[in-house]
Chains A and B, each alone.
Chain A
């Protein structure tokens, strides 16, 4: 059964979900897209962010998204540390990305265990006034639980985009991915830039985690379900393109939503990944990739 109301609502819900997906994938876009670091542990940093928001929400009744924002400096620092270790162990020696991959897999497991030891394996939820409420705009209903994360995701994308495009550090980071020798000649230290960029990537995880726990219950192992989606979106958008990541995330969100509504939710994930395969076959560098 097809109706305009259903179609508009499906598209809206998909876009809202896409905003959230963008927040999840931005970190990968920066660390993997721009820096070529195969940070497959990014989802578990997101889960850590979710638990941080949960802890603040439970202890101080702090709004989870606010908590996520507050923790970004901490996560930035964490990212800097992780990148340093990675750089010293692998990049300096010119090792292939393959070994970095195994390193990050190991990191994924270690962090997952740490979280389950601290917080146990029960699902965690947060409480916030906007969870469970929705507003209507004509025939379209918008659930706040998804709308607010969508807005935050958009703002995060915008902030990151402006940073990379307009600030000195941002442009230097883009320079690193394009031509690090030239960058060095311009007087900027590529390693320093990469450290900042990686830190930023992990910092986004803090906020993305807060968004995640607003939308759905969280337990330590669910990071694994996002590995595929996050990398797929980053690749589809074009490696390192922030705007591309947003567009790809929105496309995937809408695809999932439309399939869910009209043909059968069982196929929604397969459709998303099928789209990805198709896109790669037609345009291997991604939508906005160079």
Chain B
């Protein structure tokens, strides 16, 4: 497998990011980029289960918020260092993915989706009743002024999310090209047939759910430091569920490239709309984009481009 090329690309992206933090002082760029990169991670993570395997996860907010609240708990209880927060968030959400996968993936697709919906409600109720992390009122997180060699903390958060985004896409790329990916694709196309061919469907589905959950938790762990007041309504926001579903759909669900394209496109559009049009029309634009893209480019932008390229060749 060609490891070298993707890893080289990844490293150079990280290098450019690092350079950026040294040159650009405009903090708006970092905040906007953080949100877009966060969606790259969430969309890629969702697609591992949704796109590769065909199981629709409505519970992105649950995994995301669990990562955020794990980090919050560790910060409040142990003043844990950042790396611990990050890894713990990923670990706990990964375990949640494992658990929910084990319990529900034996059900048909639609029941798995409803179960993830129910999971979000139950988890949100638990957090609301957990006074230590603030309960319904939430808790404010004091963000240090700077970190490591970055002149302010926001640049550090940006680099963290850039690393996570690059990492997530690499994981998706690797999965897609590995035997796991072939197995998942077989499940997506026809689960019964796959089982007849001795594909370990349950184990693969659980693996996909675990990896997906872990990545979502990693995306959630820095969230309290980004927003400085962590409370249930914003951590469990419906936006995360809709976007992590819509972005891969718009970009294309069969490859690692689709969620990336969708996240960047829709993410940039949303960020731009917030500071330009800035009214009810924001939501209208999201709705229209979703409807238009899904009707005109059902296989996503990647699919559209592929067809155009093939069309030209023929």
Interface residues of A (CB under 8 A from B): 89-90, 93, 95-96, 98-99, 101-103, 105-110, 112-113, 116-117, 224, 227-228, 231-232, 235, 239, 266-267, 269-270, 273-274, 276-277, 280-281, 284
Contact = CB atoms under 8 A, between A and B. Distances in A.
B50 A105 contact: no
Contact of B118 (A102, A105, A117, A273): A273
B298 interface: yes
B115 A99 contact: no
A279 B57 CA distance: 19
A102 B117 contact: no
Contacts of A93: 298
Given A89-B295, A105-B245, A228-B121, A280 B287 contact: no
A227 B120 CA distance: 13
How large, as a class, is the contact surface on chain B? 35 or more
The 4 closest A-B pairs by CB, nearest first: A106-B290, A109-B287, A106-B291, A270-B125
Nearest to B108: A284
B305 to A, nearest CB: 18
Contacts of B103: 277, 281
Interface stretch (B68-76, B213-221, B278-286): B278-286
Contacts of B238: 224
B161 to A, nearest CB: 25
Given A102-B245, A102-B290, A109 B283 contact: yes
Interface of B: 50, 54, 56, 103-104, 106-108, 110-111, 114-115, 117-122, 125-126, 128-129, 238, 242, 245-246, 249-250, 253, 280-281, 283-284, 286-292, 294-295, 298
Nearest to A229: B121
Given A266-B129, A284-B108, A116 B280 contact: yes
Q: Is the interface of B mostly helix, strand, loop or mixed?
A: helix
B118 A232 contact: yes
A107, A113, A227 — most chain B CB neighbours (10 Å): A113
Given A102-B249, A105-B245, A110-B284, A277 B115 contact: yes
Contacts of B114: 231-232, 235, 276, 280
Contact of B287 (A98, A110, A266, A277): A110
A101 B295 CA distance: 11
